Structure 1
Amino acid sequence: MTRSRLTWLDALRGYAAVVVALFHLSPTVIGLERHLAIYNHFDIGRYGVLVFFLVSGYVIPMSLERHGSLRRFWVGRLFRIYPAYLLAAGAGLVLAFLGWQRLDVTFYKESVTTVLGHVTMLSDLLGMRTVGRPMWTLSYEMVFYLIVAGLFVWRRHRDSAWWAAGLALIVLVAGRVLPPGLFGGTFEERRIAGAVLLVLVAGCVAAFLSGRRGPALVAGVVGLGMVLLPLLNGHSTWYATPRSSSAATMMLAVMFAGTVIYRAQHGQLDRRVAAVVLCLVAVVQGIHQWLLDGTKLMPNCLLAVAVAGTFAIAFLLRNRAVPGFLTWLGLVSFSLYLLHMPVLFVASHFLNGHPILLSAAFVIGTLVVSWAAYHLVERPGQELGRRVESYLEGRFGPATRVSIANTEGGTPSTGSFGLQRESV
């Protein structure tokens, strides 16, 4: 059993990763028909993803404010995510070459846009599919990082309640009229949007890494403007995971709801205000699809209650000792989340028609691959990030820091996966 102020988040993240992995295993083991029957009553995959988003919303501001440095935050982000992300992408391409995984048609019809989307991690908001299916969620994580960085540099980072409530109210009031693909309705528009986003994201990251306040302020404005992607381009093609811009916007609202919880816990936001905002986000999450097309009221309400209830239970138990296996799952959760699909494709290739053996191979293989990827890819990536941070300090001097009190102990990681202490 492990006890610390942050292990409850590790346990919650590990649990969410397992839920998503089992959701993807389900059709192979119980059959597509039974899988869809469950899906129509309760979307287990989306449940796991929304729990992840709540954890991101809670952790990211805490990490950024702990460091007080946008340079350190972005070095941590880049070297925390991209090594495992590139590994998963490479594994997917190898499996596609072997014929064990089928790539979506967008890889062949819109190759340039697909590559641009993968480089920026904004594939889903460009209407493109990713090499590994779970990667689509990183589009919303990236948008959230950019917005939070923008709020931080402009010293508006404690406006979380306004963002959570504002985005939820936009979905509630104007969800039907939000355009699905203002920036990417055609082939050419998607290619241009991908190129523009690459320039904007690279420019923002470069400005934040420079440590200079002037460029960072400009980058902050661009980062805040990224909210327009889910608002106005959340479903530019059939391949985008959300079925509307309102659904894409709700994902961002859920992430800010996680930030609201963090603010209220540490006395930065009146708890009564926080309660109202959280209830608003939960209610809109439950009814927005019903408002759009008159369907799925009960399943979506059940989903919203389940997500909120899961996080609430974990939060209430945050001071209790957590089983070591759950915290270990949280430690390797990013690799588990990204690499369970390649493991499933390999297991299915060799054990198709043997559901019990396939399930055992999937579980064991996923755990082993996740452990190996964490130790051989993620940790070396973080070490490289530390060296890059030292180089940037020597090259450009110390970055401008914003001193912000933080009540959490230790140095949390800069991400929603693997909350182990990092120096980056």
Structure 2
Amino acid sequence: MTANERHVKGLDGLRALAVVLVFLAHKAHVEAVDVGKLGVWLFFLISGYLIVGELHRNRLRIEQHTARRDAVLYVFFIKRALRIVPVYYLLLIALTIAHALFYQREVELGLAWHFAFLSNYWIGVVHDRWPGTVSHFWSLAVEQQFYFAAPFALLFSRASRHLAICAAAIGCAALIHLALYLHGASAPLVYAFSPWNFALIALGGAVAIVGARAPVGNGSVSAWWLAAGFASLAAFAVGRADCAACVAQQRAVLPGLLDIGLALSLCAVFVWIVRSQGNALVAALDARPLAYLGTISYGFYLFHNLVPSKLGEDPALYTRLGLPPAADAVVPLVLPLVLQFALAFVLALLSWQLLEKRVLEKKRALQAAIDQWLPVHAEAESARLRA
């Protein structure tokens, strides 16, 4: 961990909860509330908090002449590439080969779009429907597009303007999100391609920027804030789920307003977590099993939707087991989910241990090489001479 990075308790646990919500949406088909959207939006909040926070702190270092902008840019893109690219592209290459030979040959998977990190555009605009097992790649495209734009927006502007930039991005995204509903945009387009997804990242970034002015751990948000956050989160989630009929109506803006309320409520809960680091609930999020699932959550997210949904479904086996009536109703529902979750976990664990972890260990060496190649003192001396 570098000097400008800081550990925030509970974030790995939040990643674990987010990936479990997405898993339940795709495998358990939870429909009472859109838990998949909550999970993905939670991922966006965490990404914004970490990435915008890092860029904001680096911009402050640039202004203090303790870092070079070109070096910071190189390090940022190298770190993002090491974290995202290797396992993602290996998976896409494997899917391309399998698709050509036997895997879902009758389904248009849009693999070329996924290679270009344009899954959200392909699903929402070109394909205009969900493509099955690779549908979840849209959120990875959103994050990668953000990673391409954010460094130039934040490292080339004064740190004092960063909060205003985030606020402007949130406001513009909200207006476009509502306009999509007013113009009767399709559900996949709104879900995958609306700029409101970027607003969630900007919301997390705004939390980080405000926190940089009042460092995490020096205070806490009252319990009433958490209670109000959860209450409003539940109200907006249920209200959004009950709004299926109005989504079908042309030019209905209510779903968009509920989306915005849902996101702000989720952000309120997130604020409580990052501002209440000494709380027992935050410590529970930092428990080792939950935190470890959060650590390998990227691989879990990549692989979970590719696990066969029929895994564990065996009515003949249930009959042979002679289960009691109560268990006979529960086991056919629970056992497939347990097995599918276990397989996704094993794949993520192998991915982390054999590839991701080893690749990430190269970050420090590469950062040190860049710092040696682009020394800070040379930039500072150049700035002094220009002045």
TM-score category of the 2 structures, normalised to the smaller one:
0.5 to 0.7
1:177-188 alignment, distance < 5 Å: none
Partner of 1:118: 114
1:362 aligns with 2:364: no
Residue 62 of structure 2 is matched in structure 1 by none
Partner of 1:380: 358
- The equivalent residue for 2:212 is 266
Post-superposition shift, 1:304? 3.1
Deviation sequence 1:57-81 (CA, Å, 0-9, x none): 1000233455651101111111110
State which of 310, 332, 351 in structure 1 corresponds to 2:313.
Answer: 351
Answer yes or no: is 1:326 the counterpart of 2:270.
no
Using the alignment, how far apart are the partners of 1:100 and 1:348 within structure 2? 15
Say if 1:6 and 1:348 are closer, same or farther in 2 by CA, change over 3 A.
same
- The counterpart of 1:9, out of the listed 5, 8, 11, is 11
Pair 1:21-2:17 in alignment: no
Q: Deviation at 1:133?
A: 2.2
Q: 2:200 aligns with which of 225, 241, 254?
A: 254
Equivalence for 2:271 = 312
Aligned 8 A contact 2:47 2:204 in 1: yes
What CA distance in whole angstroms lies between the structure 2 residues aligned with 1:336 and 1:149? 27
Aligned residue runs from structure 1 range 22-421, under 5 A: 22-27=24-29, 35-36=30-31, 38=32, 42-64=33-55, 69-93=72-96, 96=99, 99=102, 101=104, 104-105=107-108, 107=110, 114-115=111-112, 117-126=113-122, 127=125, 132-173=134-175, 241-243=188-190, 248-267=194-213, 292-296=251-255, 300=259, 303-304=262-263, 306-320=265-279, 321=283, 322-343=286-307, 345=308, 348=310, 351=313, 354-383=332-361, 397-398=373-374
Cα deviation for residue 329 of structure 1 reads 1.4
SS of aligned partner of 1:133: coil
Letter paired with 1:315: V
Give the drift of 1:22.
Answer: 1.6
Matched to 1:327, the amino acid is A
State the alpha-carbon separation in 1 of the partners of residues 265 and 158 from structure 2: 31
Query: Structure 1 157/124 Cα, relative in aligned 2: closer, same or farther at 3 Å?
Result: farther
Instruction: Give distance in 1, aligned partners of 2:365 and 2:340.
Output: 36
Question: Residue type of the partner of 1:351?
Answer: E
What's the C-alpha RMSD, in Å, of the aligned pairs?
4.3
Change (3 A) 1:399 1:88: farther
Deviation string 1:242-277 (CA, Å, 9 cap, x unpaired) is 3289x62111112111111111112189xxxxx9xx
The answer on whether the counterparts of 1:160 and 1:256 sit within 8 Å (CA) in structure 2 is no
1:378 alignment partner AA: E
Over 3 Å counting, the alpha-carbon distance change for 1:393 and 1:300 in structure 2 is closer
Paired AA for residue 293 in structure 2? L
- Alignment coverage as a number of residue pairs: 311
Normalised to the residue count of structure 1, the TM-score between the two structures is: 0.60
Quick one: structure 1 residues 377 and 352, their matched pair in 2 at CA, closer, same or farther if it must change by over 3 Å? farther
SS in 1 for 2:47: helix
What is the CA distance between 1:54 and its match in structure 2?
0.7
> Deviation string for 1:320-348 (max 9, x for gaps)?
432111211121111111111122x2x62
Q: Distance in 1 between matches of 2:165 and 2:88?
A: 29
Structure 1, unaligned runs of 5 or more: 28-34, 108-113, 181-234, 270-274, 404-424
Distance apart, 1:170 and its partner CA: 2.8
Partner of 1:228: none
The letter for the 1-side match of 2:53 is: M
> Which amino acid is 2:310 matched to?
S
Structure 1 residues 357 and 399 mapped into 2: Cα distance closer, same or farther (>3 Å)? farther
Conserved 8 A contact 1:176-1:292: no
Q: What CA distance in whole angstroms lies between the structure 1 residues aligned with 2:345 and 2:313? A: 18
User: Amino acid of the residue matched to residue 9 of structure 2?
Assistant: T
- Given that 2:120 and 2:141 are in contact with CA atoms closer than 8 Å, whether structure 1 keeps it comes out as yes
Q: Which amino acid aligns with 1:56?
A: S
Deviations 1:193-245 (A, max 9, x none): xxxxxxxxxxxxxxxxxxxxxxxxxxxxxxxxxxxxxxxxxx8xx6x943289
8 Å contact kept, 1:122–1:139: yes
Q: Is the 8 A contact 1:122 1:138 kept in 2?
A: no
Question: Which structure carries more relative contact order (alpha carbon 8 Å, separation 6+)?
Answer: 1
- Aligned partner of 2:324 in structure 1 is none
Q: Aligned partners of 1:141, 1:303: CA distance in 2, in Å? A: 20
Query: In structure 2, how many angstroms separate the alpha carbons of the residues matched to 1:88 and 1:16?
Result: 21
Take 1:381 and 1:316, find their aligned partners in 2: how far apart are those partners? 32
TM-aligned CA deviation for residue 9 of structure 1: 1.2
The residue identity in structure 1 corresponding to 2:190 is R
Tell me the CA shift for residue 137 of structure 1: 0.7
Whether the aligned pair in 1 keeps the contact of 2:18 and 2:43 (CA below 8 Å) is yes
C-alpha distance in 2, partners of 1:61/1:173?
A: 22
The percent of aligned pairs where both chains have the same amino acid is 22
- 1:21 Cα deviation from its structure 2 partner: 1.3
Question: Which one has the largest radius of gyration?
Answer: 2
Distance 2:338 2:155 in 1: 48
The one-letter amino acid of 1:139's match is A
Shift of residue 135 of structure 1?
1.4
Q: Distance in 1 between matches of 2:365 and 2:8?
A: 26
Unaligned 5+ runs, structure 2:
1-5, 59-66, 216-224, 241-245, 316-331, 381-387
Residue 213 (structure 1) aligns with? none
